[in-house]
Amino acid sequence: MKHNFGAGPGILPHEVLKQAAEAVIDFNGTGLSLLEISHRSPEFEAVLNEAVSLVKELFSVPEGYSVLFLQGGASTQFALAPYNLLPEGGKVAYLETGVWANKALKEAKFFGDVEIVATSKESNFTYIPKDYTVPADAAYFHITSNNTIYGTQLHQFPKSPVPVVCDMSSDIFSRTVNVADFGLIYAGAQKNMGPAGVTLVIVKDDLLGKTGRKIPAMFNYQVQIEGGSMYNTPPCFAIYVSMLTLKWLKAKGGVPAIEVENDAKAKVLYDAIDSNPLFKAVAAPEDRSHMNVCFVAENPEHEKPFLKLCDEKGIVGLKGHRSVGGFRASIYNALPIASVNVLIEAMNEFAEKN
């Protein structure tokens, strides 16, 4: 058995993988593969409609918001957010908490002025800035809810005088969120929702159509809403697997239930790191991510032999990002606490031997 701590594409529920594999051969008894049926067929339209319905149910999406399944990854949304929300000559505000936040604000500079309200760059993004003021004249305030590379997470979302835009790619559906507090939420699927290839967008309708610019159809949220996420051929398989994963999450008790599991996994793993003399967590304690647990070996020479031990025990995907080093245990929704316990046992065994 493998214990998949990879940062992304991340682990998916086994039952979802099994259903998806069957659908590749014969989708719902049609005699056709899901990969070859028309996206305009009643069978796939039912999949897309159910996926949208599950997002609305699991996240309690209020009236006045639209749910989209789009292509291009969350990185495309770095540009589409300002393209659709920032008026000509306007300004936006960004909180810089890591690589992805930095890439997002760089894209926004193509469309207007960008004010970085706070940054933790000077500490290699080991904490989330707290003391800052969001300018009331900004079109929106952009945040990244969880930082996969550095292992930090916003545990409380900031109050803002302007609409909040949030990249939730790495912690979407991992904890309860009040969607009404946001103007736009976007998330790549490949952490907690499905495979790479589809991106979830939840946008407040009354924010759209106010930029004063012409937007090409594929990049225009309003066009995509009118087309029901099918202005062109959507990523059918990725949407189907996402739908299955959302059904799995609902059957487990929804987001509140998985949040309890995720908090428990994070606590037991951080406690193990903090009590082990050979390892040290990277992020500030109050900002530690419940999705991506980043830690290092006190002695850098222990890094390779510990990874070798992990490999022997079927623990994969643990090597940290090159900008941080060390180790990164991504404990997404589908990762069972049993796998976390295997990692802890490996850490304790390594400490006893060294």
Q: Is residue 9 part of a domain?
A: no
Last residue of a domain, one of 212, 230, 251: 251
Tally the domains of the chain.
2
Taking 90 as the threshold, does the pLDDT of residue 320 lie above it? yes
163, 296: one domain: no
Q: Has 191 been annotated as catalytic?
A: yes
Q: What is the pLDDT of residue 94?
A: 98
Q: Is residue 2 part of a domain?
A: no
Last residue of a domain, one of 251, 286, 316: 251
226, 271: one domain: no
Name the active-site residue from 171, 191, 247, 248. 191
Is pTM beyond 0.85 here? Answer: yes
Mean pLDDT within 62-75: 98
Q: What is the pLDDT of residue 1?
A: 84
Taking 90 as the threshold, does the pLDDT of residue 40 lie above it? yes
181, 301: one domain: no
Last residue of a domain, one of 251, 276, 296: 251
Q: What is the pLDDT of residue 13?
A: 98
Taking 90 as the threshold, does the pLDDT of residue 120 lie above it? yes
Taking 90 as the threshold, does the pLDDT of residue 295 lie above it? yes
152, 166: one domain: yes
Please report where in the chains the tokens 């990249």 appear, as a residue.
Answer: 167
279, 162: one domain: no
- What is the per-residue pLDDT across 192-251, written as a single tens digit (0 to 9) for each? 999 999 999 999 999 999 999 999 999 999 999 999 999 999 999 999 999 999 999 999
Name the active-site residue from 2, 131, 167, 267. 167
Calculate the average pLDDT of the chain.
Answer: 97
Mean pLDDT within 131-160: 97
We report the CATH number of the domain holding residue 29 as 3.40.640.10
169, 277: one domain: no
Among 272, 328, 342, 256, which residue's Cα sits nearest to residue 59?
A: 256
Distances (CA, A) of 148 to 122, 254, 344, 351: 18, 23, 20, 26
Q: Has 265 been annotated as catalytic?
A: no
Name the active-site residue from 26, 56, 91, 100. 100
Which sign does the torsion angle of CA 256, 148, 202, 218 carry? negative
Q: Is residue 8 part of a domain?
A: no
Find out whether 76 and 98 touch, Cβ atoms under 8 Å. no
Mean pLDDT within 64-90: 97
Q: Is residue 1 part of a domain?
A: no
Q: What is the pLDDT of residue 134?
A: 98
53, 107: one domain: yes
244, 279: one domain: no
Find out whether 230 and 51 touch, Cβ atoms under 8 Å. no
Q: What is the pLDDT of residue 96?
A: 98
Q: Has 159 been annotated as catalytic?
A: no
Q: Is residue 153 part of a domain?
A: yes
34, 171: one domain: yes
Q: Is residue 7 part of a domain?
A: no
Distance, CA of 107 to CA of 103 (rounded, Å): 6
186, 325: one domain: no
Distance, CA of 29 to CA of 210 (rounded, Å): 46
pLDDT band at 14 (very low <50, low <70, confident <90, very high): very high
86, 46: one domain: yes
Q: Is residue 5 part of a domain?
A: no
Close Cβ partners of 113 (under 8 Å, ≥ 6 residues apart)? 90, 91, 92
Mean pLDDT within 266-275: 98
Mean pLDDT within 18-38: 96
Taking 90 as the threshold, does the pLDDT of residue 68 lie above it? yes
Share of the chain above pLDDT 70, in %: 100
CA 14 vs. chain centroid, Å, equals 20
Find out whether 239 and 47 touch, Cβ atoms under 8 Å. yes
Q: Which domain holds residue 165?
A: 14-251
Distance, CA of 144 to CA of 159 (rounded, Å): 14
Please report the DSSP string for 194-262 in residue order: S-TT-EEEEEEGGGSS-SSS---GGG-HHHHHHTTT-SS---HHHHHHHHHHHHHHHHTTHHHHHHHHH
Instruction: Count CB-CB contacts under 10 A for residue 64.
Output: 11
Distance, CA of 251 to CA of 113 (rounded, Å): 45
Find out whether 196 and 189 touch, Cβ atoms under 8 Å. yes
242, 117: one domain: yes
We report the CATH number of the domain holding residue 279 as 3.90.1150.10
Q: What is the pLDDT of residue 323?
A: 84
